[in-house]
Amino acid sequence: MKYVESLRLALDELLASDSRVHLIGEDILDPYGGAFKVTKGLSVKYPDRVIGTPISEAGLTGVGIGLSMRGMLPIVEIMFGDFLTLAADQIINSAAKFGWMYNNQVNVPIVIRVPMGGYRGYGPTHSQSLEAMFLSIPNVNIVSPSIYHSPGKLLKNSLRNNRPTLFVEHKCSYAQELVPSTSSGIFEIELLESIPLFPTVKVSLSHGEPADITLISYGYVSAIAVKVAYELFMEEEIIVDVLIASSIKPMPILDFMDSIKVTGKVLTVEEGVVTGSWGAELSSIIHETCFSFLKAPVVRVGAKDVPIPSSKNMEIDVLPSELSIKNAITKMLS
């Protein structure tokens, strides 16, 4: 099953099972079915509850928040995650605060789906990964699936979570095949569930041997990380534990500890800019909780501190690549 199919199926099942579920977004109606075709076929099936909107991220997010306060379960799509900035006021000053401001008389169980990420040559304003900006907003959860997770299941769990959730998808992942956790390939795949609704997937070639390094990642780049892990194993016999989080906030630090205890070396890999990033926050938490196990400082790999170029050749220089991950690992182990 493909990533996009998993999401579409989950939306379909949610709409069928609960009449409170509404999809709101720009261009999500058939025949277009959304910029990335996640909602294709759904507006025909559920014409009352799949709602196309004008181009106003603030407006459509605000409508979603209003619906959720009145007991509905809205799922809002921001066509490109870059324009989450336009909805930021609604999320930060409304969705995240209302529960507290109104003494828990209202809940805001809204899910905001945001396709993020580059590697497609879409240029500086359609390629960013801005989710880290919301790490410092209390009461906003951030969830991101990878092809090693079940994106549909994570989406359903996000809606059950009873609080505003940013659901970070990736443009390049939609067409990818999911890797089932039962697959009997060369990798050992293990689910770590310190946050039961949002498990971390451990992908490793260790097969009982102690790993050399712990690589923590999420989203689309985690697949690149797994590829690097395979190559490093085949070339240098370096064993990399790749831990792929689905809960970006809160951080499932307990899922990472077992591996960190073995390796003592941690590399974080994400697509967003390194400065003030998810990796920066995670690194702090690791240093605070696992310092005695560390053999080296935590290292971060992410995008460079520049806008993302339109030229694909230059874009790959700015975003994390197989090469930059590989270099970081070899440097940490040398």
Partner 1 sequence: MITEIVLPQLNANEESAVLVKCYLDDLGVVSKNQVVCAVETTKSILDVESEVGGYIKYAYQVSDSIKTGQVLAWVSDNLDELTNLKVLVSKPSIQATKKAIALAAELGIDLAKVRAIGPIIREQDILLYAEKSNHQSTKKEFISDTKRGVVSKSFLAEIANNLEFKLLPSEEKVMRYRQAGAEVASGVKIKDGAVILAENIVLDQDAIIGCDSQIKCQTFKLGRMSVIGDRANILTRHVDIGDVFFSGPNILIGGGGAFGPNAHFITGHSCLVSGWCLINSGNGVILGNEVALSPHVKLYTHNHWQNILEGYHSNFGSIYIDDGAYITGDSIVVPNVKIGAGATILANATVICDVPNGAVFAGVPAKEVGRVNPPKSIEDKERILSRMLEELYMELDLMAVNPNTVRYCKSVQVSAVSSAEITLCFELIGDVAELRAGAVVFDLSNYQIYGNQTRLTDEIRNFMRKRGIRFSPIYWRYTHDENLYNG
Segment contacting partner 1 by CB under 8 A, of 156-164, 177-185, 214-222, 296-304: 177-185
Smaller CB separation from partner 1, 237 or 258: 237
CB 72 within 8 A of CB 111: no
DSSP, residue by residue, 30-63: TTTT-TTSTTTTHHHHSTTTEEE--S-HHHHHHH
Within 111-220, strands assigned E span 111-116, 141-143, 165-170, 188-192, 200-204, 213-218
Q: Does 322 bind partner 1 (CB under 8 A)?
A: no
Region of 191 (left: φ > 0; alpha: ψ -120 to 50; beta: rest) is beta
Q: Does 175 bind partner 1 (CB under 8 A)?
A: no
Smaller CB separation from partner 1, 3 or 122: 3
Segment contacting partner 1 by CB under 8 A, of 107-115, 155-163, 227-235, 286-294: 227-235
Residue 204 C-beta: closest distance to partner 1, Å: 10
CB 192 within 8 A of CB 252: yes
Burial 59-89 (b: 16+ CB within 10 A, else e): ebbbbbbebbbeebbbbbbbbbbbbbebbbe
Q: Does 305 bind partner 1 (CB under 8 A)?
A: no
Q: Does 4 bind partner 1 (CB under 8 A)?
A: no
Q: Does 313 bind partner 1 (CB under 8 A)?
A: no
Residue 9 C-beta: closest distance to partner 1, Å: 13
Q: Does 31 bind partner 1 (CB under 8 A)?
A: no
Does the N-terminal peptide bond of residue 151 adopt cis geometry, omega within 30 degrees of 0? Answer: no
Q: Indicate which single residue of 17, 103, 182, 313 sits in contact with partner 1 (rule: CB under 8 A).
A: 182
Smaller CB separation from partner 1, 17 or 184: 184
Residue 181 C-beta: closest distance to partner 1, Å: 11
Q: What type of residue is 49?
A: R
Q: Which stretches of the chain are DSSP H helices?
A: 3-17, 42-45, 57-69, 84-89, 98-101, 151-160, 220-236, 253-263, 278-289, 312-318, 322-333
User: Binding string to partner 1 for residues 194 to 223, with x set by CB under 8 A, is what?
Assistant: -----------xxxxxx-------------
Of these residues, 22, 126, 149, 170, which one is catalytic? 126
Q: Does 180 bind partner 1 (CB under 8 A)?
A: yes
Q: Does 334 bind partner 1 (CB under 8 A)?
A: no
287 annotated active-site: no
Number of residues that bind partner 1 (CB under 8 A): 16
Q: Does 191 bind partner 1 (CB under 8 A)?
A: no
Q: Determine the 3-state secondary structure of 287 from DSSP.
A: helix
Q: Indicate which single residue of 1, 101, 175, 314 sits in contact with partner 1 (rule: CB under 8 A).
A: 1
For residue 219, how far is the Cα from the chain centroid? Answer: 5
State both tokens at 242. Answer: 């790749």
Contacts of 6 (CB under 8 A, 6+ apart): 150, 151, 152, 153, 178
Q: Does 237 bind partner 1 (CB under 8 A)?
A: yes
Interface contacts to partner 1, rule CB under 8 A: 1, 180, 182, 185-186, 205-210, 233-237
The catalytic site residues sit at: 126
